[in-house]
């Protein structure tokens, strides 16, 4: 579970990150990363209806929360990160999702 202090909650912050943040894409998801005013790295998740029904969307969100909790310290301090799931996530296994997330995080670290 992702602790509450790591969650990006304000819709204005999420929208600003989606619009102004740098995009790092992989096969199953896109990471939007922007610098925030805080010293704490914060995360939000965008899993739309194109991913599937409610059960599928919540499953993908839970898996993404688990992956971000494991790798939160790899992001630059003070980052705002929105993890946007692509429609292919619906049929992907956790191993595939983990591999795709790792590839996107590697791009963030390299930049």
Q: Report the pLDDT averaged over residues 7-22.
A: 89
The answer, yes or no, to whether residue 43 has pLDDT greater than 90, is: yes
Q: Which of 93, 89, 69, 63 has its CA nearest to residue 81?
A: 69
CATH class, 4-110 region: alpha beta
pLDDT for res 28: 94
Instruction: For 28, list phi and psi in degrees, rounded to 5.
Output: -110, -15
Question: Could you tell me what percent of the chain has a pLDDT over 70?
Answer: 99
Q: Which of 50, 23, 7, 26 lies closest to 102 in space, CA to CA?
A: 26
Determine contact, residues 72/108, Cβ cutoff 8 Å.
no
| pLDDT computed for residue 88 by the predictor | 92
Of 67, 13, 64, the closest CA to residue 35 belongs to: 13
Closest CA to 62 of 1, 18, 109, 21: 1
Q: Report the predicted TM-score, pTM, of the whole model to 2 decimal places.
A: 0.89
């Amino acid at each position: 579970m992702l602790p509450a202090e790591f969650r990006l909650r304000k819709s204005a912050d999420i929208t600003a990150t989606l619009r102004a943040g740098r995009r790092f894409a992989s096969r199953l998801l896109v990471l939007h990363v922007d610098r925030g005013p805080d010293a704490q790295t914060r995360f939000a998740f965008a899993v739309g209806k194109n991913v599937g029904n409610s059960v599928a969307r919540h499953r993908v969100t839970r898996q993404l929360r688990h992956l971000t909790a494991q790798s939160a310290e790899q992001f630059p301090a003070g980052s705002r990160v929105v993890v946007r799931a692509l429609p292919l996530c619906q049929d992907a296994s956790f191993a595939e999702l983990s591999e795709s997330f790792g590839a996107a995080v590697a791009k963030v670290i390299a930049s």
